[in-house]
Amino acid sequence: MKITVNGKEEDVEVGLGLTIVDYLESKDLEPGRVVIEHNGQVVKQEEWEQIELAEDDTLEILNFVGGGE
């Protein structure tokens, strides 16, 4: 299945339904350190387990980065 992540097309394998949480785990991303936009809508973290990705979906993943003075 093809999805677009941060502007780049990506092929992902689909098992019994690939959720946003499954995708994040496959990329070793910490759920507490990212914000997700799915098909143009910001999605609350509590909803990630219920959203199954589908062909041609778009994800924007923003990482929080610490630092500063």
Q: Is residue 68 part of a domain?
A: no
Domain-located, residue 24: yes
Alpha carbon distances (Å) from 7 to 52, 59, 67, 68:
19, 8, 26, 28
What pLDDT score was predicted for residue 68? 60
Q: What confidence score (pLDDT) does residue 37 get? A: 97
Average of pLDDT values for 34-40?
A: 97
Do 38 and 57 form a contact (C-beta atoms < 8 A)? yes
Residue 69, in any domain of the structure: no
Distant-in-sequence contacts of 36-40, Cβ < 8 A, 24+ apart: 36/60, 36/61, 36/62, 37/61, 37/62
CA distance 30 to 39: 21
pLDDT, position 27? 92
Res. 14 pLDDT band, cuts 50 70 90: confident
Domain count, the chain: 1
Q: pTM to 2 decimals?
A: 0.86
Domain enclosing residue 10, as ranges: 2-63
